[in-house]
Amino acid sequence: MDENTKEKLDSYLELLQEIRQKTDDSRVATVLLSEICKDRRMQEIRQEREANDNQPATEKQKRFMDDLGIKYPKNVTKQEASALIDEELGENGQ
């Protein structure tokens, strides 16, 4: 097991113990820990997406915008390209 995984495991086990002390029920504590872990992962995913949104649009996005006849700035970002594509497809009822 790599060091990062060990650290996460220790962190989760510590959190589980804290929850158990507050609930006095191992099953409830396990369910609560699961929900907390899901929330943490969703936050990580949001942060990753936000970081990616500001990157330059992919060549695939640019080709698709070209195919749709969308005019876009030279330095269009992934997020901007996605919005332009969604808008165009929405206008055409697709």
pLDDT, position 36: 94
pLDDT, position 27: 93
Rounded Cα distance between 39 and 24, Å, is 23
DSSP secondary structure letter of residue 56? B
Rounded Cα distance between 74 and 66, Å, is 12
pLDDT tens digits, 22-49: 998 889 999 999 999 999 999 999 998 8
Rounded Cα distance between 76 and 62, Å, is 9
pTM for this one? Answer: 0.54
pLDDT, position 54: 83
DSSP secondary structure letter of residue 24? S
Q: Is 77 helix (H, G, I), strand (E, B) or coil?
A: strand
Q: Where do we find the tokens 């969308």?
A: 70
Tokens of 53: 């949104």
